[in-house]
Amino acid sequence: MSKVVLITGASSGMGREAAILLAKAGHRVYAGARRLDRMADLADHGITPVMLDVAHGDDNERVVDQIVEAERRIDVLINNAGFGLYGPVEEISLEDARYQFEVNLYGPARLTQLVLPHMRAQGSGRIVNVSSVGGRVFTPFGAWYHATKHALEGWSDCLRLEVAPFNIQVVLIEPGLIRTEFGEAAADEMSKHRDGAYRDGLAPLLKMRDNPRTVNLGTNPEALAKVFVEAATTDKPRRRYVKGMMARPALLVRQWLGDGAYELALRRTLR
């Protein structure tokens, strides 16, 4: 059965590939992102691109109203938009940290609040929140990013219980290392702090960014796009989908060997 789907962060990477796969499967897809020009060709796939900055409440309301007016329903919301603010906690401004939460947590929360009344009225719906393996593990210099993903995990689990009586499902996707623009953008953020007090800790991470052998590490976004489609459309979705380079090993080390072993592995990797 064809579904009406809104996916955010669809101008590149996993979001873009998932939007295309969903449209190929016969679903009515609305692809949201700030960079509308980068989504113009999605119309060739039968996708409707919409200008959407999830950190702006007016954008969220306008897009949901547009979809409901055109389709009379909305079946799936995929909260994929996000970015990683990387650098030392001491040196990142609280203003920047608040914006990280606006995009990675409060934006998805507001969109969810807007679609839930329509899903309750139609008696079904699904919220797919794209978290990260970083919502369950941690790395140095990613404190604010990890904080948003840890928060999204707990928020999603609570939401799942609240909306279950209305036949609305909540699913988390936890990508590992994916070959997208995300890693380069995060490294660019870290490089702003390369001459500060934490330069010795940042040096190994920036060296990895500049190493030709590691620059292209990661799982192809197409592989995650398939997970997005399953999470959005299967009759009985899992609560969590884990996919991507180093995702499962990182979770297993922390779960079974504890924080000490996990931190030791990080230190050895980042020498």
Residue 117, Cβ neighbours under 10 Å: how many?
Answer: 11
Q: Catalytic annotation on 262? A: no
Total of domains in the chain: 1
Predicted confidence band of residue 121 (pLDDT cuts 50, 70, 90): very high
Q: Which residue has the higher pLDDT, 213 or 234?
A: 234
Q: Which residue has the higher pLDDT, 71 or 269?
A: 71
Rounded to the nearest integer, the mean pLDDT of the chain is: 93
Q: What is the pLDDT of residue 212?
A: 55
Q: Can you tell me the mean pLDDT for 3-23?
A: 97
- Domain range for residue 172? 4-269
3-class SS at 137? coil
Predicted confidence band of residue 162 (pLDDT cuts 50, 70, 90): very high
Predicted confidence band of residue 128 (pLDDT cuts 50, 70, 90): very high
Q: Is the pLDDT of residue 215 over 80?
A: no
Locate 114 and state its tokens.
């807007």
d(CA 49, CA 29): 8
Predicted confidence band of residue 115 (pLDDT cuts 50, 70, 90): very high
Q: Can you tell me the mean pLDDT for 184-190?
A: 79
d(CA 19, CA 29): 7
3-class SS at 11? coil
What's the CATH code of the domain at 165? 3.40.50.720
Q: At what angle do helices 143-163 and 94-101 cross, to 10 degrees?
A: 30
> How much is the pTM?
0.94
Check residue 87 and report its DSSP letter.
Answer: S
Report the chain's terminal Cα–Cα distance, integer Å: 51
Q: Can you tell me the mean pLDDT for 100-108?
A: 98
Q: What is the pLDDT of residue 216?
A: 65
d(CA 248, CA 251): 5
Q: Can you tell me the mean pLDDT for 50-65?
A: 96
Q: Is the pLDDT of residue 34 over 70?
A: yes
Largest CA distance in the chain: 56
Q: Is the pLDDT of residue 113 over 60?
A: yes
Element (H, E) at 24: helix 13-24
Give residue-wise pLDDT tens across range 233-255. Answer: 999 999 999 999 989 999 999 98
Q: What is the pLDDT of residue 266?
A: 87
Active-site residue, from 30, 86, 99, 145: 145
Q: Can you tell me the mean pLDDT for 111-124?
A: 98
Q: Is the pLDDT of residue 183 over 80?
A: no
| Phi/psi at 10 (5° precision) | -100, 15
Locate 212 and state its tokens.
């030709």
- State the amino acid at position 26 in one-letter form: G
Handedness of CA 195, 201, 205, 211 (dihedral sign): positive
- Of the listed ranges 7-11, 115-119, 203-207, 254-258, the least confidently predicted one is 203-207
3-class SS at 174? strand
Q: Can you tell me the mean pLDDT for 148-173?
A: 98
